[in-house]
Structures are given as structure tokens and as C-alpha cells.
Amino acid sequence: MALYKFTNGTVANANEVNANFATTISFPILNRIAIQNDRSVLDIGAGNTDQIFSEAYTDTTGREDTVNTGNTTATHVEFDVSSYPSGILQQATVPGPVYTNSNSTASGTTETAADTSYSSATSTLNGTIRFYFTANSDLYVKQITLGTNTSTQYNLIEKKIGDKYYTIAQKSGASVNGYTTFTFTLSDYSNIIKAGEEFRIQLNGSFPRDGNNSFSLPVTGTHFDWDSWSQTGSIAMNTTGGGFTVETITASNTNDAIIEHDIPSGTFPATVSKLVGKAAFAYPDSGATVEHRLENATENSGWITDGTMGSFTAFTSEPTKYKVRLNSTNGNSPAIYGSGVYSQ
């Protein structure tokens, strides 16, 4: 039976058929990852000629413990917000643990913006507050110091992609001498903040403030601008190094960050000759790419672009390894919370 394109009724060529097939098969892969993100799934078992292998990166070894951490060079970043108050999660997209590639180094240039108008506490702000910024350089938030009235504070650092904010780092901290300090390193981040991007800091707790004074915003800096915040009045900041400190970074492209999986015996037939690999992105990938590969001791499929059909010389024994490669573009890193492959 001939296959037809719905757009103009012409017969579909091989590329169109493969593209349609890859799109169709991507959905059950992503569905399986979504299930694994919550719980383990029952393996269909050996003897199936059309099989999907997938893994959700709930921890370094994955939900099904298939990630070979000894041969994995990608970076695992945890987002554990299970104890966070509900208010801080509003309007935020928190992906959970992800694998990403470390593609940046700190440049050592820091800048701090603080509230200089605060005098003394006349009121208390309880709940979630949001601070909005724009980056003028490639950077990450290195430190936050705010006056606090309660023992534990929670924070999320998010950047805006499209019309949504996506969590890229998180911390909880304890109050010391009336202030809470959150200190970050690049390893805490699943993505960097690039020049021109908007980002925000969300904090939840109890904060002393001078309700009679308001600091002047926006504050324009060299590396970042403090645009606004979600409340009125002034908030307590430590005058010796307090406020919001960022550090500039040098972004580089890393194209060899690998996640290696051990495939259970019997998952795929010995004569596999095509595959579709699909990654579950934590947020839009901003031009970064992911590639997939099957191999055994002597054969491999080559690297196949995410979400496409790849054909290769048929194996003579079943694949034992599934590898995912994370590639950066212009300093943008992919962050994925799972991946999977269909092969036959």
C-alpha cells in the first residue's frame, strides 16, 4: 500500500517515511521514561523483535540502575525539592535530577547587588519572594545573603526560556546570626545563564524588612541588572558581602559528555540494524543536541541524532551498551532527565 503525505497527496519518499516513523516511535519512548521517573517499569522480556530500552535519571545510576557511572562523563545534578513549601514552586518548572555536561569554567569576576536603603525591621515578610534580574554577561549566581527570622530557608534559581522559568539550581540553608547565606558552585547548575537572558531568584521563609522604605529599582550593574522584586519595602541584607553575588563564566562547547548504560541481555535481537533514540529534556535545549549509539564488544551503530531514524550495518550479536552523548552549542548545555532507544 502506498504511503501519502497529507499535505499534497504525493507519495512519501523514504526520508519522509523514516521521519514520520521516528516521530511516532519517540512518543512511547518518552512515555516509558515518564513512568520510570515515578517508578520502575516491568521489562517486556527477551524474545521481542521490537523493543524499547529506557532509563530515568532519578539518581546517578538511574531508576533501573543501568547507568555505568565508571564510564559516564556527564554530570548528574540533583533537584530535591520534596520538602519545599508549596509557594516557592508556583510558576516554576522543577525537572528533578538530570544529567548534563559541564561546559563552563568560572572566570573569577564577581559582582554584588544589594539593598542599601534598609534601616531596621518594622515588619516581617512571610512566604515566597521573587527577585528578577537580567544578565549582561555569561554568569551564575554564586552567593545570596539575606536577613531571615526562621531557621531554614529555601531557594530556587531559575532562568526564563520562552515564557516560562525553569529551575537550574536550588539550595536550602540555615539562619546564622539573623542571616542566611546560600553559596553555589558551577556543579550545582544544570545550565548557565547567558548574556541577555532573564533570571530570577525565589526564596521562601520569614524575612525582616523595613516596610516604610523602598529601595530604588532597577539597579544597573556591569554583569547583571536587578530589575524588580515581588514585594514593597526594603529587605535586610548583610552589609558585609550580602545581597546577590554573581560570577562570570567562560562558556565552552563540550561534545563528549557520555552517559553509558548496560543493556540487559535479551533486550534487543542480535541482528539490529536501525534505531530511534530520544532524550527527555528538562527544558528547551537552546540549540544543544543529543546523540544515541548502540554497541557491543566489536560493533556499533555510530552516533544517531536525537529523534531521528538511523540505519547501520546489521550486528552479528546483540548490543550490550547504550550510550547517550550530550553536545553543547554556543555554551548551551542539554539537561535530560531520561533517555531511551528503540531498535530492531
| Tens-level pLDDT at each residue, the chain (344 residues) | 344 444 555 656 767 777 887 888 899 999 999 999 988 876 544 444 458 999 999 999 999 999 999 999 999 999 888 889 888 888 788 888 999 997 789 999 999 998 878 888 899 999 999 999 999 999 999 999 999 988 788 999 999 998 999 999 999 988 888 889 999 999 999 999 999 999 999 999 999 989 888 888 999 999 999 999 998 889 888 766 689 999 999 988 777 899 999 999 999 999 999 999 999 999 887 678 999 999 999 999 999 999 999 999 999 999 999 999 999 887 788 999 999 999 99
According to the model, what pLDDT value does residue 254 have? 73
Q: What is the pTM of this model?
A: 0.88
**The dihedral sign for the CA sequence 278, 283, 284, 288:** negative
pLDDT value of position 5: 47
Task: Please tell me the total number of residues recorded for the chain in this structure.
Answer: 344
Cell triple for 130: 521573587
pLDDT value, residue 87? 86
Nearest by Cα to 96 from 81, 85, 83, 86: 81
Confidence at residue 42, expressed as pLDDT on a 0 to 100 scale: 61
Give the model's pLDDT for residue 287: 74
Q: Using the 8-state DSSP alphabet, how is residue 188 labeled?
A: G
Strand-strand pairing, 92-93 and 164-174: parallel
- Residue 41's alpha-carbon distances to 32, 37, 44, 96, 144, in angstroms, are 8, 10, 9, 19, 41
Protein fold of 15-76+254-343: Jelly Rolls (2.60.120)
Q: Which fold has domain 104-251?
A: Jelly Rolls (2.60.120)
Tell me what pLDDT residue 1 has: 35
pLDDT value for 303: 98
CA dist 273 to 17, 154, 166, 297, 309, Å? 17, 49, 38, 16, 11
Positions of CATH 2.60.120 in the chain = 15-76+254-343, 104-251
How far is residue 180 CA from its own chain's centroid? 26
- Alpha carbon distance 141, 126 (integer Å): 23
DSSP string, 41-70: -----TT-SSEEEEEE-SSTTTTTT-B-GG
